[in-house]
Amino acid sequence: MSAPTRPRLVLVGPPGSGKSTVGKVLARRLGVSFTDIDVLIEQQIGKTIAEMFTQDGEDAFRALEREVVARALQEADGVLALGGGSVLAASTREALRGHRVVSLKVGLADGLRRTGMSTARPLLAGVNPRATFKALLDARAPLYREVATVEVDTVRRSANQVATAVLLALGETDAAPQGEPDEDEPLDRPTPHEAVPLPDPLGHPR
C-alpha cells in the first residue's frame, strides 16, 4: 500500500502553538510552499472563520473544514498547517495516516498569552477563557498525539528555534537556516492564525 506523501509535512497543534508562524519558516528553510487550512477556508467562504461560527454554527464550519483538509492532503505541496480543531474529525485523523505529522505543543499559560484571547478565535471567546482553553488542551492532546509522527515543544522558543527542532526531529539536516536573527519571529505574541521527536531533540527544558 503506497503511503500518502503529497505535503512535505503537516503541522497540527492547539491555538497559540505557532503552526502558521513556524510553518512559514519551515517552508522557507525547505524551499517549498506553505498552505494554511484556515486561510483556504476563509478564501472559500469569503468571510472570517469567526463570522462563520457566528452565522452558520460550529457544525457547519467543521463539515467544511473536513472537506478542505481532505482536499489539501491530496493537492497541497510543501508545508501544510491544519486548524487547531481539525483533528477532532475521525476522518481527518485517518487521512493523516502515512503523512509526516508534526504536533506543536504549547502549555496553558503560553497558549493564552500567544492567542491574546482574540475574537478571531471563537472557541476562546467565552466568559472564562482560561478554563475553556484548559478544557480544549485536555480534550485535544490525545488526538494530536495520535496523529503525530513527532512532537516539538514550543515553550520559550522562537519560530526559528522551533523550526530547527522540527527539522532535526524529522532528520532534515540538509535544510539550512535562512535569514538573520533579527528577522526571527517570536511566538510569544498573538498572531491572526495559530497551532514532539520524543524526547525533545535539542534538550531544551520543558
Annotated binding residue at 154? Answer: no
Annotated binding residue at 121? Answer: yes
Annotated binding residue at 17? Answer: yes
DSSP H helical ranges for 57-154:
58-75, 90-95, 108-115, 129-147
Annotated binding residue at 116? Answer: no
CATH 3.30.9.10 fits 9-183, yes or no: no
SS3 79: strand
> Of 169, 162, 199, which Cα lies nearest the Cα of 13?
162
Annotated binding residue at 98? Answer: no
What are the Cα distances from residue 171, in Å, to 22, 153, 164, 167? Answer: 17, 17, 10, 6
Indicate the domain borders of the chain: 9-183
Annotated binding residue at 92? Answer: no
Annotated binding residue at 157? Answer: yes
How many degrees, rounded to 5, is the angle at CA 172 between CA 197 and CA 191?
70
Annotated binding residue at 118? Answer: no
Q: CA 191 to CA 3: how far, in whole Å? A: 33
Annotated binding residue at 19? Answer: yes
pLDDT in tens, the chain (206 residues): 444 458 999 999 998 899 999 999 999 999 999 999 999 999 999 999 889 988 999 899 999 999 999 999 999 999 999 999 999 999 999 999 999 999 999 887 777 777 765 445 555 555 567 788 888 899 999 999 999 999 999 988 899 999 999 999 999 866 555 554 434 555 654 333 333 333 333 333 32
Provide the pLDDT for residue 1: 43
CA 160 remoteness from chain centre: 15
